[in-house]
Amino acid sequence: MEATEHTQGIGGIVTNLLALETVLRYFLLKLNGEEVQFPTVGDREAKITHLTRLASLSKLISEYHAALGETEKTKYAVDTSVVSIRNAFAHGRLLTSKEIPARLWKFGYPCGSVGGRNEGLLAAGISWA
Q: What is the pLDDT of residue 115?
A: 58
Which pLDDT band, with edges at 50, 70 and 90, does 124 fall under? very low
- CA-wise closest residue to 83 among 52, 106, 67: 106
Q: Is residue 127 over pLDDT 50?
A: no
Rounded-to-integer distance, Cα 45 and Cα 59, Å: 23
Q: What is the pLDDT of residue 125?
A: 43
Rounded-to-integer distance, Cα 49 and Cα 110, Å: 35
The DSSP output letter for 69 is: -
CB proximity list for 102: less than 8 A, separation 6 or greater? 6, 94, 95, 96, 124, 125
Question: Is residue 121 within a helix (H) or strand (E), and if so which, with residue range?
Answer: strand 116-123
The dihedral sign for the CA sequence 43, 45, 47, 53? positive
CB proximity list for 71: less than 8 A, separation 6 or greater? none
For residues 16-38, give the mean pLDDT: 95
pTM of the predicted model as reported, rounded to 2 decimal places: 0.79
The DSSP output letter for 129 is: -
